[in-house]
Amino acid sequence: MSNTSSLDVAVIRKDFPILDRMVNGKPLVYFDNAATSQTPKQVIDAIVDYYSSYNANIHRGVHTLSQEATDKYEQARLKIQRHFNAAKPHEIIFTSGTTHSINLVANGFSSLLQKGDELIVSAMEHHSNIVPWQMLCERTGAMLKVIPMSEKGELIMDEYRKLLSDKTKMVFCNHVSNALGTVNPIKEIIEAAHNVGAAVLIDGAQAAPHIQADVQELDVDFYTVSAHKMCGPTGVGILYGKEEWLHKLPPYQGGGEMIAEVTFEKTTYADLPHKFEAGTPNICGGIAFGAAIDYMNAIGIDVIAAYENELLVYATEQLLSIEGLRIYGTSENKTSVISFNIESIHPYDIGSILDKLGIAVRTGHHCAQPIMDFYKIPGTVRASFNFYNTKEEIDAMVEGVKRAKAMLQ
């Protein structure tokens, strides 16, 4: 089956060694991209090159290897700054990923909130953008309010506006739902929050592989991303923060690198971004993240998004041809994620059968249990597509789902 997109998927697939492997005697079909994407040779080569050629600690040595590692690491920061259009390099803080980034901000707000202040979260958040704020409310006495969602899996914006008041200090929501694929109207959310003086954190982990966010155009205060969703390695990500907000927040961790001067009487902290980067970072991960950004930009985020939408439309049509199958998250504005169930069949059972056929999907509540509670289901089967996937692979999945249905009903 031919692809109408300008993307040459056959060539792209050659960049991903793992796509050649067999699973249970079948060619791997990898549809768990919303959990983590696969890694191209170009990024793997950057990792090997670091450990083979210039492995050293950064910012601390005058010797050649340290200087080379420092230069590569800071070049990666610049690549990420340009990709997200941050105003300044030091507004990009390297972290271990989106969860770390959110916790960094939530911890910082402990000193900025008081009893009676209000925080607003959306109903479709990943647990990592719920639990840190609940913990913050327990520490400060602030209250957590929730933007409700519709049956289609869209935020009810009229209700959001009713929640806003001069008591609102922070609003946080995802750019794209990991469970439903819904693209949220974050520009509208940000503007409304700013109108009452509230700060906004956007979880961009699921959006970054499909949408090139311009943090200045969005006027967002904080934006978080994980490298492993963007063809990069696990264990590294970034927090973008407006300079003014990063100056307001206290350091998240104490240790080396984040200090200017230490005595037993007093410690003064380093300037941004080092204030929030205590200890030896994931140097190789940061450099590889830069390589992943280069790789995706060489293809083009818009080209990637167009092709993935093609896959989404095709897979939606094919899956809905199966009697009794229901898709959760039917917003017209969504990324290449399909969550579905078949009548009374448990999603785990479908996922297990698909795995026997070499097809990797995610089953469960996808760390978004409130969404599953809303639909009164234990979880879903989630198929999430990336630009190295094909319509032929979707056909294999659809046949696998049909086979699972015949076996389980």
pLDDT in tens, 56-102: 999 977 899 999 999 999 999 999 999 999 999 999 999 999 999 99
The total of other beta-carbon atoms located within 10 Å of residue 62's CB is: 6
Q: How confident is the model at residue 1 (pLDDT cuts 50, 70, 90)?
A: very low
CATH class of the structural domain 9-30+300-408: alpha beta
pLDDT at 379 over 80: yes
pLDDT at 328 over 60: yes
Tens of pLDDT, residues 342-366? 998 999 999 999 999 999 999 999 9
Q: Which of 38-52, 76-90, 315-329, 363-377 has the lowest mean pLDDT?
A: 363-377
Query: Residue 408: helix, strand or coil by DSSP?
Result: helix
How confident is the model over 49-53, as a mean pLDDT?
Answer: 98
Indicate the CATH number of 45-298 among 3.40.50.300, 3.40.640.10, 3.30.70.1150, 3.90.1170.50. 3.40.640.10
Q: How confident is the model at residue 5 (pLDDT cuts 50, 70, 90)?
A: low
> What is the model's pLDDT at position 60?
76
First-residue to last-residue Cα distance in the chain: 31
pLDDT at 269 over 80: no
Report the relative pairing of strands 222-226 and 168-174 from DSSP bridges.
unpaired
Residues whose CB falls within 8 Å of the CB of residue 14, separated by 6 or more in sequence, listed in order: none
How confident is the model over 185-212, as a mean pLDDT?
Answer: 98
Q: How confident is the model at residue 2 (pLDDT cuts 50, 70, 90)?
A: very low
* 173 part of the active site: no
Distance of CA 391 to the CA centre of its chain: 24
The total of other beta-carbon atoms located within 10 Å of residue 316's CB is: 17
List every span in the chain annotated with CATH 3.40.640.10: 45-298
pLDDT at 36 over 90: yes
List every span in the chain annotated with CATH 3.90.1150.10: 9-30+300-408
d(CA 63, CA 80): 26
